[in-house]
Structure 1
């Protein structure tokens, strides 16, 4: 975590020196929202149900497991679903780009590659969200499109907005660059639902005044998988038994969340190595000996890792009440698709 990020979450006094820039950010973002509301800037969407999974703060809050869980939920109901991503961290230059099995993570981004691997649904990257969404509808005939991030990309109309928050909450509650917020805390009252990843006291105080439905998310991991050979899978208990000494590695928005998760499962790393979110790994970044990393890092390390590299796949579990709210929000034609298939 950078010095500035640490200041946001530790209440450092010197961030007040950034107040003029925060005021400028507020003015520009407010003007932009007004332009969309008034029609000066246009917004559109294809004939599909658009779900935006985002947040009001910068940094990873656990959106990717939610996207995967939703994609699987729709698949189980025989509803055609696709995922739209900006492809942050990738270096693709031609858009829209449909992620395929041979695409390396450095081309399409770590999160789109991970989502495509885990779900098998169409995943399209495009910094122009309206174009990417139209491509998912035209090429893959998607009835539901999950937009990974993009809460503030108002050019794409949406039918359902979902915010994911972790126990860092909103930090000092200030707008960029004085704090971590892309939009003010008022925005939480305008979305359809909030998913709480690792709910804590810092979140609780903020969310007491939020009227929209809030749902806890639990993360479940049962096995460790070899980075170099994904068919080689062992249980967490077996990993703990075989590897008393290992290095934990994480290049995500909140590495400490991964390290804490390991400790909760009695996986105590001899050493912890963290990198910035979307870090572009080199061979020298990979420690020797046994290494346990996140699945998001594994998709980037596969071509440069070694035989003692493992990753921990995590599954998001959301309460039935959340899925009930989501199902009620779906338009009748999509519900009929489900019933026609006898699901």
Structure 2
């Protein structure tokens, strides 16, 4: 599926151009929803709200950035709480306060992963505004980070961060379903920061020059890179360095928005892999994990939370952490303090 999407949306042409009337309809509906929400929900919340999202469909690295923001804000003395839609979860009693032991089929894979990665409170509710009220009523923290909430306009926000994949960019620049855009590129005029995951070029301060990203122009554009930090065995908890994958035969599985990036990371570490992509948020079964004699099984942290209960002895998770420039950290914290 990922290869098909790459050809249809992220190539130079627009093979789905016959669907352009549906793109016009999609834009009309999206803009009407935004106008209605921003008109009706204007009251500022008593705590700052930072929204992390993207204007393209698919994976761009929002969750690692969210985890980085949690750690950066905590180091600066804040007490962040993550808001999540909980995509793929089946919880009926909302809002849900997620813990590190919450089952992913209840809360969704990303909320559980973020709870485990950061130790911060994570609140799941498709209605992000109701989730925010739950946080405030229960005094869970003093700043909210909405993961993948750029188009959830019912939630007032103080800072907006849009994330792009440095390789894919805006694809063919068309709106869904002709292309990958959820909103027109003009939407970037209203966000505070643009983050480019895997930017090919950046200056000494980590800023991405406008000419480095075709069609993406913003005065505050920064580079982000995902650094492999450790391999952890899902059964035993044994930890190894990512460099231990050099020359190893592995079966790599990934049910994320852009599995190619994960596979490329493994190749860069010197692994010899069989790459097996799955749809984003795939609900794994034991038979999905496969078995090749003499191969390690390596997956993402997001997939690991779903596979832990039935993972074989040779199953490992490759953990990655976002790396961003000090200039971005300072800019976010300065704006955060100014909004409070």
Name the TM-score, length of structure 2 as normaliser.
0.91
Partner residue in 2 for 1:216:
223
Give matches, 1:1-343, under 5 Å. 1=1, 3-4=4-5, 6-37=7-38, 39=39, 41-166=40-165, 167-200=167-200, 204-207=213-216, 210-230=217-237, 232-240=238-246, 244-269=248-273, 271-288=274-291, 289-331=295-337
Across the two proteins, how many residue pairs are aligned to each other? 326
**Cα gap change, 1:68 to 1:276, in 2 (>3 Å):** same
Residue 290 to residue 155, structure 1, CA distance change in 2 (3 Å): same
Return the alpha-carbon distance in structure 1 between the equivalents of residues 44 and 130 of structure 2.
9
Is contact 1:169–1:203 with CA below 8 Å preserved after alignment? no
String of CA shifts for 1:56-105, please: whole Å, max 9, x gaps: 01111000110001101122223111000000011112110000233111
**2:250–2:271: 8 Å Cα contact kept in structure 1?**
no
Whole-angstrom distance in 2 between the partners of 1:77 and 1:260 = 34
Shift of 1:36: 3.6
Residue equivalent to 1:339: none
The answer (yes or no) to whether the contact 1:44–1:156 under 8 Å persists in 2 is no
Structure 2 SS opposite 1:307: coil
Q: Secondary structure at the match of 1:222?
A: strand
| Residues 55 and 162 in structure 2, CA contact (< 8 A), matched pair in contact too | yes
Alpha-carbon distance in structure 1 between the residues aligned to 2:310 and 2:42: 42
Instruction: Give 4+ residue runs of structure 1 displaced > 4 Å after superposition.
Output: 200-203
- Note if contact 1:79-1:144 (Cα within 8 Å) is conserved in structure 2: yes
Question: Quick one: distance in 1 between partners of 2:64 and 2:227?
Answer: 10
CA contact (8 A) 2:249 2:271 kept: no
C-alpha offsets along residues 187-244 of structure 1, whole Å, 9 cap, x if unaligned?
112110111101249971122xx233011112111321111233x1011233436xx2
Structure 1 pair 125–295 and aligned structure 2 pair: CA distance change class (3 A): same
* 3-state secondary structure, aligned to 1:331: helix
Does the CA-based 8 Å contact 2:61-2:197 persist in structure 1?
yes
TM-aligned CA deviation for residue 186 of structure 1: 0.7
Preserved CA contact (<8 Å) 1:122 1:136: no
The 2-side partners of 1:333 and 1:7 are apart by: 41
Aligned counterparts of 1:35 and 1:145: Cα–Cα separation in 2? 23
Cα deviation 1:120-179 (Å, max 9, x = unaligned): 110000000100011112213421100001101111110000011002111111111111
Instruction: State the alpha-carbon separation in 2 of the partners of residues 162 and 257 from structure 1.
Output: 21
Structure 1 residues 6 and 108, CA gap change in structure 2 (3 angstroms): farther
